[in-house]
Amino acid sequence: MIENPTDVGNAPSALKNTITSSNGCRQPYFFKENFLIKDECEKLWSLWNDQNVFIENVDTEDSPWYKYFREKRSRQHMFLPNYIDWLEPKIDRIVAEANREFFYLDLSFGCLSKQLILYNENHWFDIHDDTNHWENFHHDRKITLIIQLSDESEYLGGETLVEQHLNISMPKNLKMKGSILIFPTFAIHSVNKIISGSRKAFICWYGGPKFR
């Protein structure tokens, strides 16, 4: 799925209104409310299985992953290895449109990984990027996609923040259930600590050849 800027048409796009701030400056993300309806959010979260939660088995401080797993974040997640036929064509389309309009990245490797994420009280994720955490020399993650699966009334804190060192404003309804947030993996981002309750989300990455 290679998206070329020359393919972008001249017609106005609804996406442009979602990614442009009130002062006319383009934000480093795409956001859309009600991407999934309530029933779809619940259907997606029904795939969560406590038995399949990824175990971050890092016991010693000399492990190269100790800092990342113990000092950078606290959360639970599980991988979704199987194709989700009712969801994936839908996210393929919106990623392709957002990328064609704004990011112009080579996403020819498609969706690389899918996860369900659970942030409970006192869980957080410090500032980081998503480009390449696994020393893969053949491709990079290029687009991060997050779908909110909890209602904002179910927890306090837990906001996803993108490029805050540049004073970027985040969408007003960022925590709305069913909303989708898309941004380049090289955008520095974080998740505020959960004060109370639990936040549920779906996340995936689209990739392509190494950045150069």
pLDDT of residue 10: 37
Task: Report pLDDT for 54.
Answer: 80
pLDDT of residue 138: 81
Query: Would the pTM of this model clear 0.85, i.e. be above it?
Result: no
Handedness of CA 210, 131, 89, 28 (dihedral sign): negative
Query: What residues of the chain score a pLDDT lower than 70?
Result: 1-26, 56-72, 133-137
pLDDT the model gives residue 56: 66
Identify the pLDDT of residue 211: 86
Q: Residue 145's pLDDT is what?
A: 98
- Structural domains in the chain? 18-208 (2.60.120.620)
- DSSP category for residue 14: H
